[in-house]
Amino acid sequence: MQQDSLLETIQAMIAQVLVLEAREVLPTSRFFPDLHGESIDLLDLGFMVERQLGIRINFSEALAGDAVRTDESGRLTAESTQEIRRRFPFLDLSRLPSGATPKRLIEETLTVSAITEFVRRAPSGRQSQDAQCANTQNMQSDTEPSKARLPAR
């Protein structure tokens, strides 16, 4: 899927999940403060992406995963911010104040275009399942060459 087409698809999905007009969902719109999404809406969007595109993604985990390190007061460390910048160069961290919390990181950087980029970069669930089936078949063929195997779905 081409990038513009994927962006339009994600915009339409977000509009559907948040019950908005498509014209209200801009690439620069932040999911939480601008579009007034809630965490359950982001979960619904993840299910919709999986159902329609075959891509399983947890947006909060994708953004906050193991790159996020906090200090004893719960604020992002400078190293963590640099790691996030390195891993996710498409995120606009310009609104993020120094020493922000992980919650603020998600609120400020999870735009429609960032969501689109996370989807674009995620491995396809169908591809992952096919690869897993192929790996399982390869392991079986090495250990049990005479047994018949069902074809991968």
Tokens of 94: 């310009």
AA identity, residue 129? Q
Range 125-138 average pLDDT: 39
3-141 folds as 1.10.1200
- What Rg do the C-alpha atoms of the chain give, in angstroms? 19
Tokens of 116: 């689109």
Greatest C-alpha distance within the chain: 62
pLDDT band at 2 (very low <50, low <70, confident <90, very high): low
Q: What is the pLDDT of residues 69-122, one digit of tens each?
A: 899 999 999 999 999 999 899 999 998 888 899 999 999 999 999 999 999 998
DSSP one-letter code for 75:
P
Query: Structural domain boundaries of the chain?
Result: 3-141
What is the rounded distance in angstroms from the CA atom of residue 117 to the CA atom of residue 123?
Answer: 12
Per-residue pLDDT at 64: 63
Q: What is the pLDDT of residues 26-48, one digit of tens each?
A: 999 999 999 999 999 999 999 99
Per-residue pLDDT at 44: 96
CB within 8 Å of 71: residues ≥ 6 apart = 77
Per-residue pLDDT at 130: 40
